[in-house]
Structure 1
Amino acid sequence: MTGMRTAKIMTGLAIAGALATPASAAAVTAELVVKNYADIALAKYQDSLTTAKALEDSVDALIADPSAETLQAAKDAWLASRVPYQQTEAYRFGNAIVDDWEGRVNAWPLDEGLIDYVDGSYGTESDENNLYAANVIANEKVTINGEEVDATEITPEFLSGTLHEADEVEANVATGYHAIEFLLWGQDLNGTGEGAGSRPWTDFSTSECTNGHCDRRAEYLSAAADLLVSDLEEMVANWEEGGDARKEVTADPTAGLSTILTGMGSLSYGELAGERMKLGLLLHDPEEEHDCFSDNTDKSHLYDAVGIRNVYLGSYERIDGSVVSGPSVSDLVSVKDADLDAELKAKLQTTLDAMTVMSERADTVEAYDQMIGEGNEEGNAVVQAAIDGLVDQTRSIERIVALLELDAIEFEGSDSLDAPGAVFQ
């Protein structure tokens, strides 16, 4: 199923790329480019909301009638929801409103012992996190910042206002896609071996309950799914006409171009190539895998790369197959330096080709966490090729910043790329 989605989006990108260039590139202005950028943001977040609502419905169905089939349907809905959402991540790093909000929906990694039962190998305490194994599903009282907190009712308000990043610890991720992912799949205890999480459907059954507290587990899952929907509704509103994010990026078109390129470069380099990929490859550590419970990491990385490309081309294929397209950064660059525009387009394609190879390998040979395993030379090389593509395209993005005479932009960095030795200290 995931492989089919990959093929579909790559085909759609070829079409979208063809539609991305207006009749007269010379007539393209920064104002038109940032407006189209905002229009695409709205479409992406609308699609993310639509798929989150489908996930919410599937969670409701699972809770109403727990079975292997309804659990799988909820997993499938979660996987589908990641496709449009990951394409929004190129809107991070430059847009402050998105950055301030993003931790509520896509924060990772998480200390899953905060939420639910974990395997004994997980341990019971951490020097960095007093709530490392708090297991709020099993306990109606938890201690936060030295005070006892009533967790009798697990509501969206409790998750977002009390539990998420409790004790000011970033690993206390109580909300968003990855909290839901953990509740659907459970821990992946396979290391760099074959297999994802394997939570039984009976964990949500009140009549055939396994691992205890099945009613509270269902309550937590329902609250997290509801909260994801409301958070995405908020972001959709931010990009609608008159929304704060749209107003901010379009108020000064030149600054808006800097925002666009900051997002592209920072996601390409420090975040995706560095923190999400190279760090795990250096450490050969599956705990550094982005979608670590579901083994969906290869798809998440692929759609991040797709998102970077469609921001540059000013074109996005929606989940219904329609295309939102208009004036783009590519158009501005092509007028000033057609060779540089062609260079970045080629590099974006090279990265997507490498990501597609990685994704197809995940579908046919081994999962991403196996690819980064120590001693897996072939798998390591496949991941490294995608990293190399991301780093290389960032160099061209830097040149575009200079070409457009924008103020200096500092892209996000990563020790894994800039000072690999520091990773092992």
Structure 2
Amino acid sequence: MLRQTALTCLLTSIVALPLSVQANAEKNQAPSLKAIVGHYADIAYANYSDALQTAQTLQKAINQLTKKPNEETLKQAKQAWLQARIPYQQTEVFRFGNKIVDDWEGQVNAWPLDEGLIDYVDSERYEYELGNSGASANIIANKQIKVGSKTINATNITPELLASLNELGGSEANVATGYHAIEFLLWGQDLHGTQAGAGERKATDFMPGKQCTNQHCDRRVAYLKAASELLVNDLTDMVTQWAPKKSDNYRHELLSDSPKQGLRKMFYGMGSLALGELAGERMKVALEANSTEDEHDCFSDNTHNSHYYNAQGIYNIFFGKYQRIDGSTVTGPSVADLVKAKQPKTAQQIEKLFNTTQSSMQTLIDKAEKGMAFDQMIAANNKEGHTIIGNAIQSLVAQTEGIEKAAKVIGINNLNPDNADHAF
């Protein structure tokens, strides 16, 4: 530290507060609503940029797999897919409250999907949505697809064709694009049910000529390349929507609105992802039905990580911190700072709720790494697994109550986060 003269020290002691008091005052000073919403947009831009970068890495790995298909290049493509999920799952907190993201998300991350729409399945162990006329269309095996009275020319598998086939025949289970379509193509159908094991697709499914297994390898390659291209294009578009210094994108629209309205979107997004989507659709449904078909990353058995990073995304927004894939951290004014400045004790209570959720999600990770994946946890006779998931659900419910309390402290009432019609 720089040394001060005796006179300077004397004057400082007379006219200024002690340094510790100054630091505390600055720390507890309430940030402006405008600054918080601006930082929210900064995190979105950084987070989607990371999702795009990892998707581009995935596309490169897929291109290498299709050029030189073998077990090693398939393994590398799978690893790239797993890495791509880390930043993307954290972006889902932006989906709720921001209509532009919610409208876009279906082409990127829709699930569960009836995989028979895309490729071959074991018909004796294939569960699909009842009444779905596209559940066994098998785009890869058929250049002409007939669903009801409609016949579709699928000779050339392109990003445009795949995008047009989403919700084919009016069924939401007909998902032809996004992370989960790519996941299925890399891993294949998971035939292990609630026992240990994920999909076991072989690299020979992508090999040319007589080495090809399960036929139509050239079309499987074309599908995988088209799906990864579309994913990169979609993420590029979303990065553009959150980019700074633009007057014609969603970020500009958000920041041009009242800061309080922006803050309401932030709170609604956090609460809705935690309650209706993560606790409800992604955990409660699968647990109560003991259904692997309702598992989020069902082909790869990566569900524990997807759930963890969804919760991390909520944490990021509340506390205004996001760790980028290069290890750097984006920090700035946060909701937590504002609540702490207004009601320190309430802020402390809410932080404990978030920490409990983080701990319960870490338990999912720890158990999966020791051999009990999410699809094993939901097995009807797995009491330990049910308890682990139940604790995670309850922590998310309590955390959502804390989010609503924080909103009220700031003056946002009647938040009503989406519970997706689930009772908790």
Residues 70-219 of structure 1 correspond to what in structure 2 (within 5 A)?
Answer: 70-122=73-125, 127-144=130-147, 146-160=149-163, 162-207=164-209, 208-219=211-222
Structure-2 residue corresponding to 1:296: 302
CA distance in 2, matches of 1:225, 1:278: 31
Which of 337, 346, 368 does residue 374 from structure 2 map onto? 368
Per-residue CA deviations over 1:128-163 (Å, capped at 9, x if unaligned) read 211110001000001246221110000001111x21
CA distance in 1, matches of 2:362, 2:198: 21
Which of 193, 217, 239 does residue 236 from structure 1 map onto? 239
Partner of 1:172, secondary structure, is coil
Residues 14-25 of structure 1 correspond to what in structure 2 (within 5 A)?
Answer: 23-25=26-28
Structure-2 residue corresponding to 1:345: 351
Per-residue CA deviations over 1:327-346 (Å, capped at 9, x if unaligned) read 00111111111111111111
When residues 386 and 125 of structure 1 are mapped into structure 2, their CA distance, relative to the original with a 3 A threshold, is closer
When residues 332 and 81 of structure 1 are mapped into structure 2, their CA distance, relative to the original with a 3 A threshold, is same
CA distance in 2, matches of 1:359, 1:22: 39
When residues 217 and 22 of structure 1 are mapped into structure 2, their CA distance, relative to the original with a 3 A threshold, is farther
CA distance in 1, matches of 2:365, 2:25: 32
Amino acid at match of 1:82: R
> Which deviates more from structure 2 when the two are superposed, residues 400-409 or residues 387-396?
400-409
CA distance in 2, matches of 1:229, 1:74: 15
Structure 2: 5+ residue stretches without partners:
1-23
CA distance in 2, matches of 1:102, 1:380: 30
Fraction of identical pairs, as percent: 49
- The structural deviation recorded for 1:350 is 0.7
Structure-1 residue corresponding to 2:419: 413
- The structural deviation recorded for 1:25 is 3.9
CA distance in 2, matches of 1:149, 1:396: 50
Partner of 1:417, secondary structure, is coil
Q: Kindly indicate whether the alpha-carbon contact (under 8 Å) linking 1:116 and 1:135 is maintained by their aligned counterparts in 2.
A: yes
Structure-2 residue corresponding to 1:286: 292
Q: Kindly indicate whether the alpha-carbon contact (under 8 Å) linking 1:258 and 1:407 is maintained by their aligned counterparts in 2.
A: no
Structure-2 residue corresponding to 1:5: none
Matched, 1:313 2:331: no
Structure-2 residue corresponding to 1:253: 259
When residues 34 and 123 of structure 1 are mapped into structure 2, their CA distance, relative to the original with a 3 A threshold, is closer
Per-residue CA deviations over 1:168-227 (Å, capped at 9, x if unaligned) read 211110000000000000010111011000011100001310000000000000000000
Structure-2 residue corresponding to 1:4: none
Structure-2 residue corresponding to 1:400: 406
Residues 36-51 of structure 1 correspond to what in structure 2 (within 5 A)?
Answer: 36-51=39-54
Amino acid at match of 2:298: C
Q: Kindly indicate whether the alpha-carbon contact (under 8 Å) linking 1:302 and 1:356 is maintained by their aligned counterparts in 2.
A: yes
Structure 1: 5+ residue stretches without partners:
1-20, 419-425
Which of 29, 32, 51 does residue 29 from structure 1 map onto? 32
Matched, 1:378 2:384: yes
CA distance in 2, matches of 1:125, 1:332: 47
RMSD: 1.6
- The structural deviation recorded for 1:92 is 1.4
CA distance in 1, matches of 2:105, 2:127: 29
CA distance in 2, matches of 1:324, 1:284: 39
Q: Kindly indicate whether the alpha-carbon contact (under 8 Å) linking 1:282 and 1:416 is maintained by their aligned counterparts in 2.
A: no
- Bigger Rg, which one: 2
- The structural deviation recorded for 1:248 is 2.9
- The structural deviation recorded for 1:27 is 4.5
When normalised by structure 1's length, the TM-score is 0.91
Q: Kindly indicate whether the alpha-carbon contact (under 8 Å) linking 2:111 and 2:175 is maintained by their aligned counterparts in 1.
A: yes
Q: Kindly indicate whether the alpha-carbon contact (under 8 Å) linking 2:318 and 2:335 is maintained by their aligned counterparts in 1.
A: yes
CA distance in 2, matches of 1:125, 1:226: 27
When residues 125 and 237 of structure 1 are mapped into structure 2, their CA distance, relative to the original with a 3 A threshold, is closer
- The structural deviation recorded for 1:382 is 1.0
Give the paired residue count. 397
CA distance in 2, matches of 1:407, 1:278: 27
Per-residue CA deviations over 1:303-354 (Å, capped at 9, x if unaligned) read 0111110100011010001111100011111111111111111111111111
Q: Kindly indicate whether the alpha-carbon contact (under 8 Å) linking 1:317 and 1:323 is maintained by their aligned counterparts in 2.
A: yes
CA distance in 1, matches of 2:353, 2:361: 12
Q: Kindly indicate whether the alpha-carbon contact (under 8 Å) linking 1:113 and 1:132 is maintained by their aligned counterparts in 2.
A: yes
> Which deviates more from structure 2 when the two are superposed, residues 296-305 or residues 145-154?
145-154
CA distance in 1, matches of 2:223, 2:170: 21
